[in-house]
Structure 1
Amino acid sequence: MNVLWLAPTSHSSKAKHPMPWVTALAQRLLEKGDVNLKVVSYNPFIDRDEETVQDGINYTFLKVPDDKWDLLRGYTGRIKRVQNYLRDIAGQYDLMHIHGAEQQYHVMGSAIDLPKVLSAQGFVTEYYRHLSKRPEYRHLSWLVAGYYEKRYMSSVKHFICRTHWDKSIIRNLHPKAIVHHNWEMIRPEFYTAMKSSTSERNAVLFVGGINYIKGIREALQTVDQLRKTLPIRFIVTGSGRKEDLLEMVTALGLKNVRAEDIEHRGMLSAAQLWETYHDAFCLLHPSYIDNSPNSVCEAQLAGLPVVASDVGGVASLVESHKTGLLTSMKVADMVEAVDSLWNDELLRESLTEEARKVSLQRFDQQQITSITENIYREVLTNP
């Protein structure tokens, strides 16, 4: 079976959103030997089109206009560039697998006469509601992306979803959609269980950088309240710098969390993040909106207790008081949840054990690969 993937995969020049679960699935499909893959991705940062082979997988990176310039044309530059390329090669393939609708890949594939399936990721139309009121580039960019997301969703018949939330969004946007369930691959480092118990650690971990939609302000406020009674630290990974966090502390008027209580470790590899888990007794994920956040999936799989806001599809990952703790977006609720983890080692151990048990089944690589192949066969049978 020859399958053409449209996916925002990473490039050595600059990866805006590498989607490692995509490449992990590609490698497993290739190893099994029943599927031949070609991955097409657009990239405004390269000088010219590039074709390369990585780990036996053929990748094509297409040079497209700069995002901001192309936004002025409604992203028609990138759409037409990729569509023209797809028209030239479509005859070589049996099926098209589109990874996400946020970056117009489903629009690019809409003009191509191939059976299609789309893996749901996030939804720009939902995330847009949580942008700050202060005007910024993303307001216009996401508005245009949201138009394409809704306008062209019906051009695809089959969808792969993971959570109760993404299934409901797809069915709302496209009532006639055929929805398949399958989880996505987790980076291999996190299948290894953590080395030691959480009793030796005193940090709350936040992996959303300085992204306010991921809840960095609420995380800081939670740690500040906890520091009134607990000797905890706060570790942040991802975008930004420690100086940015300290500016937020000042702007929020926080009095209990000091500069020496905060550590910003920057952008980490999977191995580095797994090691960072060993400094924390929990992951705090107070996001305003999420579907199936990798940060939560990876922590549960590796054995780090999770406290997460009950938004989007998170409840499909976290069964509260069984595989983690779900809270509202209220800081007081997050404080109560994190405090209960700190003071109850048996609770931490039970959440860790059950979450890892469920996650090992949920993210079984062989099962995900087999289900993917079965979905491909169903798509070909009912295009």
Structure 2
Amino acid sequence: MRILWFSVTPSLFNPHTNKHNGGGWIASLEQIIKTERNVQLGVTFNFPDSRLRYEKEGVVYYPIQYSKRSWIKKRLTNSDEKEKAEYYLKIIKDFKPDLIQIFGSENDFGVICQHTLIPVVIHMQGCIPPYHNALFPVGMNSFDFVIHRGLSLQRRMIGIRSEPAFHKRAELEIKTIQSCRYFMGRTEWDKNLINLFNPNATYFHCEEALRDSFMNNDKQWSLQESDKVRIISVISNPWYKGVDLILKTAQLLKRFTDLDFEWQVYGVQNIHFYEHKYKIKAVDVNVTTMGTASKEKLVNALCSATCYVHPSYIDNSPNSLCEAQVLGVPVLATHVGGISSLIKDGETGILFPANAPYTLAALIKRINIDKKLAFQLSHKARKQAIERHNPNAIRERLLEIYEQILDQK
């Protein structure tokens, strides 16, 4: 069967350009499926290259060269949806797929659903409408990006325009979901969203692939013989990822406990805006931003941590949380989005409400004291995560989904 992916990253064509240091989960999925003899895989993605197609290790790659329009041009001109659709159809005509798989319902690729009779399945990632609902932390609004320091001009403009931009993207995503017949996802959260927006659609459950550096690794978490409490978080830049919660919680730990702790935040480099907004200096509360780390460095940091904290206000199935579980790191995570499909509270991790710094501070203190609880969370989460992200099981399930869709066709 000929399967054409529309990917939000260059996948294995150039895995080091997608900010994941060794490839993200789509690259990991390609690694799993590209050697399947019954599948001829094509991958389409945005990339600064004008050539139509490349062939590499049996996979056909279609880079889409595009130039980002400024927000002013977007305001003054009509959508370039038609132009994009024509180019996507050109790629489809060249590859001649039996089935098209789109990664993410929130991107421009969804326009394909309205322009082809070839079966299309959308592989859910996030979902903008509920993300829009949780866009800003409590106490933050668009005006903060005008008055507070610590942001580049680009990030400042993104913040000011976040509300209307997310509203527009949310409506476009709902339109995309309503125009597609097949969906693939991995949590009850994204399944419920599909049922809400498109009750006549068919939903298939398929787990997420993780990076080899985490799945095929002899290292795993162990409790360190040290009085130092090491907290790790791996997040990205959007406002809803919980940087404010980290600062607030660290401040409470400093004030109300005698813990000798350090909180390393990977994935972001600059949190000056949050420091200014919430009047909390990272250095004063033992928080250090680590930027983007190599996979080897991240594995080592996680394996020597006391716990992993996921502070996001909204998420579907964050890779960073799953990677921590695979290594056996005790996880504390906000009870939002699809995270409850990854964590059974009290067994494979601990869930706490969003925007609950007092609760989180108490939980960090508890997990440092209760070694038995930490070991139990570690053992059960690692066992579940290894089964959940098993590459062979994911390959078999993906092929099964492809066949079921083609049979219905």
TM over 0.5: yes
Aligned mate of 1:65, from 59, 64, 67? 67
Q: 1:237 and 2:266 equivalent?
A: yes
Counterpart in the other structure of 1:140:
164
What is the aligned-residue identity percentage?
27
**Any conservation in 1 of the 2:247–2:287 contact (CA below 8 Å)?**
no
CA distance in 1, matches of 2:16, 2:260: 42
1:3 aligns to what?
3
Matches within 5 A, 1:4-23: 4-10=4-10, 15=18, 20-23=24-27
Q: TM-score, normalised by structure 2?
A: 0.85
Picking from 130, 135, 141, the partner of 2:134 is 130
Residue 357 of structure 1 is matched in structure 2 by 383
- What is the Cα deviation at residue 149 of structure 1? 0.7
| Maintained 8 Å contact 1:86/1:109 | no
- Distance (whole Å) between structure 1 residues aligned to residue 392 and residue 86 of structure 2: 35
In the alignment, the residues of structure 1 paired with residue 162 and residue 74 of structure 2 have an alpha-carbon distance, to the nearest angstrom, of 11
User: Cα 1:85–1:253, aligned 2, differ >3 Å: closer, same or farther?
Assistant: closer
> Which structure 2 residues correspond to residues 195-234 of structure 1 after superposition, within 5 A?
195=220, 197-200=222-225, 202-209=229-236, 211-228=238-255, 229-234=258-263
1:64: Cα distance to partner?
2.1
Distance 2:351 2:330 in 1: 11
Q: Alignment RMSD, CA only?
A: 2.5
TM-score, normalized by length of structure 1?
A: 0.90
In structure 2, the residue matched to 1:266 is 291
Tell me, in whole angstroms, the C-alpha distance in 1 between the residues paired with 2:57 and 2:229.
Answer: 40
Q: Which secondary structure state, in structure 1, belongs to the residue aligned with residue 61 of structure 2?
A: strand
Helix, strand or coil at the partner of 2:260: coil
Secondary structure at the residue paired with 2:35?
A: helix
CA distance in 1, matches of 2:76, 2:403: 38
Residues 209 and 172 of structure 1, relative CA distance in 2, 3 Å threshold: closer
- Residue by residue over 1:53-77, the C-alpha shift from the partner in whole angstroms, topping out at 9 and shown as x without a partner, is 4554222111223143564378832
Contact 1:208 1:236 in 2 (8 A): yes
Tell me the residue number matched to 1:85. 87
Report the alpha carbon displacement of residue 220 of structure 1 after superposing the two structures with TM: 1.5
Matched with 2:364 is 338
Displacement after TM superposition at 1:313 (Å): 0.7
Q: Deviations over 1:79-107 (max 9, x none)?
A: 33432233234351111111111112111
- Paired residue for 1:284? 309
Distance in 2 of aligned mates of 1:136 and 1:251: 15
The count of aligned residue pairs is 376
Contact 2:251 2:285 survives alignment (8 Å): no
Work out whether residues 90 and 112 of structure 1, in 8 Å CA contact, stay in contact via their aligned partners in 2.
Answer: no
**Which residue matches 1:381?**
407
Are the aligned partners of 1:193 and 1:302 in contact in 2 as well (CA < 8 Å)?
no
**8 Å CA contact 1:83, 1:109 repeated in 2:** no
Matched, 1:347 2:373: yes
Give the 3 Å change call, closer, same or farther, for CA 193–126 of structure 1 in structure 2: farther
Contact 2:250 2:285 in 1 (8 A): no
Q: What is residue 30 of structure 1 aligned with on the other side? A: 34
Asked whether 1:303 is paired with 2:328, we answer yes
Matches within 5 A, 1:115-126: 115-126=119-130
- Please state whether the residue corresponding to 2:248 is helix, strand or coil: helix
Instruction: Give the unaligned 5+ runs of structure 1.
Output: none
Is 1:194 the counterpart of 2:223? The answer is: no
Q: What letter is aligned with 2:319?
A: N
Q: 1:125 to 1:209 in 2, by over 3 A?
A: closer
Inter-CA distance 274–52: structure 2 relative to 1 (3 Å threshold): farther
Q: 2:194 is matched with which residue? A: 170
The 3-state SS of whatever aligns with 1:202 is: strand
Q: Distance in 1 between matches of 2:193 and 2:20?
A: 22
* 1:160 correspondence with 2:184: yes
Distance 1:211 1:146, change over 3 A: closer
Q: Which amino acid aligns with 1:216?
A: V
Cα distance in 2 between the residues matched to 1:373 and 1:21:
17
Q: Which moved more, 1:318-327 or 1:207-216?
A: 207-216
The one-character-per-residue Cα deviations of 1:220-278 (angstroms, maximum 9, x if unpaired) are 2112212342110010111223xx35x644543448x6458232221123222112213
Q: Distance in 2 between matches of 1:103 and 1:110?
A: 14
